[in-house]
Chain A
Amino acid sequence: MKDLLRLRTSLTEEIEALLNEQIKVEAYSSSIYLAMSSWCDRNGYDNSAGYLEKQSGEEREHMLKLFRYVNDLGGSAVSPEVTNIPQEFDSFKGVFEMALQQEIQVTSNFNRIADRCQKANDYVTFQFLQWFLKEQVEEEYVARRILELFDVIGEEGAGRWEIDKHIPKVSFGNAGE
């Protein structure tokens, strides 16, 4: 008797569902970054708007990477429905606090999926996830560094203008330089 389920895909139903959930999380991240970009733009933070728009594109790329992987392995990648994107934010700093929270949530999700992959002996997907886990180190680092600018520079006077100017320059590659 043929194993038709295995012939269809090497992904288990559980892992496929988890990856589809993550596709949705990445799509949500992409949309929320875009909303943040718009808020920054209309509040005069041009550099941050550009940075957040770029981040939005990166999150979409992450989503597509997961999307293609699920389909490549014979699974069914689901185009996600993204709703409830906040359009207004409390403050300039609040935008980046939310960005960090979002990145922490994403890291936690990837850890959970990696854990499930190990338990399900799906080392192919586990290996695939390594790229994302490494990427999350960078994402969280950058988000934290940006938030620290608010303390280092201070928001008073021209502080926010200065912070906005520095935000696009923060990168993981510059660490220790």
Chain B
Amino acid sequence: MQAKINTHLIEIFKTECGSVYQCDQTNHFILEYAGRVTAFKPINFIDFTKRVFAINLHDMASNTARHADIAILMPLYTETCFLLTMIDTIRLQRILGGAKTILHLHTLLRTNQLQFA
């Protein structure tokens, strides 16, 4: 799952729709999605993940109003504006959720490694 792209960029999680990398030089997470690349500080990456998971998919599916088909995310810490359909949201949730799981697993393994070193 974690293949090195170059010296500083490490792939965290990838699906057919996008991927998340970690840059050890800048200490940023990099999201590649829908042909766009967005860099996040760790604190903002966590926040962005929360925002994506907070999108109410049930409401998007059941609400017949036209505006309900799209979720708009414009976090102030990035210049990218995310216009997400329901499918986009599910895809993005898969990428970010997968990345988050791998990162937590990494923390867990690292902590245990330090404990038993």
Contacts and interface: CB of A to CB of B under 8 A. Distances in A.
Given A8-B43, A13-B46, A76-B47, A3 B107 contact: yes
Contacts of B51: none
Interface in B33-63: 42-43, 46-47
Contacts of A4: 22, 27, 29, 42, 103
A1 B104 CA distance: 13
A5 B47 contact: no
Interface in A1-49: 1-9, 13
Contacts of A76: 43, 47
A1 B106 contact: yes
B2 interface: yes
Contacts of A7: 27, 42
Interface of B is mostly: helix
A6 B22 contact: no
Interface of A is mostly: helix
B27 A6 contact: no
Contacts of A13: 46
Contacts of B104: 5
A1 B22 contact: yes
Nearest to B22: A4
Contacts of B24: 1-2
Nearest to A76: B43
A1 B4 CA distance: 10
Nearest to B109: A3
Interface in B63-94: none
30 contacts: A1-B2, A1-B10, A1-B22, A1-B24, A1-B106, A2-B22, A2-B24, A2-B27, A3-B106, A3-B107, A4-B22, A4-B27, A4-B29, A4-B103, A5-B42, A5-B46, A5-B103, A5-B104, A5-B107, A6-B107, A6-B110, A7-B27, A7-B42, A8-B42, A8-B43, A8-B46, A9-B43, A13-B46, A76-B43, A76-B47
Given A2-B22, A4-B42, A6-B107, 18 more contacts: A1-B2, A1-B22, A1-B106, A3-B106, A3-B107, A3-B110, A4-B22, A4-B27, A5-B103, A6-B110, A6-B111, A7-B42, A8-B42, A8-B46, A9-B43, A13-B46, A76-B43, A76-B47
Interface of A: 1-9, 13, 76
The list of the 10 closest CB pairs from A to B, nearest first, reads A8-B42, A4-B42, A2-B24, A3-B110, A1-B10, A6-B107, A5-B103, A3-B107, A5-B107, A8-B43
